[in-house]
Amino acid sequence: MSRHEARRDPVALEEIRRRAVKACGSGQSVKSVAAALGVRPGTVSDWRTLWRRGGMRALRRKRAKGRPRKLDCTRYGARILCIGELTKRPIR
């Protein structure tokens, strides 16, 4: 798996974070760990801070932030069915 593929896989990204924290804990510098993993040194420092505050559990992925959906799945499905019915009628 390439670095770019790993960044899209949440499980692989969590493993990269764990490896970074363990490498720093074993005495490697933040810069060398960042270079080995292909991330910025500030990112490795952020991961270390998260780990210090909340342990390995803090390195897990979080829910995506942003605006919630306007329609839930039920309403969305009903709207699609309604549009489908409207398109079946002949246009005058």
Per residue in 47-72, pLDDT (tens digit) is 999 999 999 999 998 877 888 777 67
How large is the angle between the packed helices 30-37 and 10-25, nearest 10 degrees?
A: 150
Residue 89 DSSP class? S
pLDDT of residue 7: 64
> What is the pTM assigned to this prediction?
0.63
pLDDT of residue 6: 60
Query: Which amino acid, one-letter code, is at 20?
Result: A
pLDDT of residue 35: 94
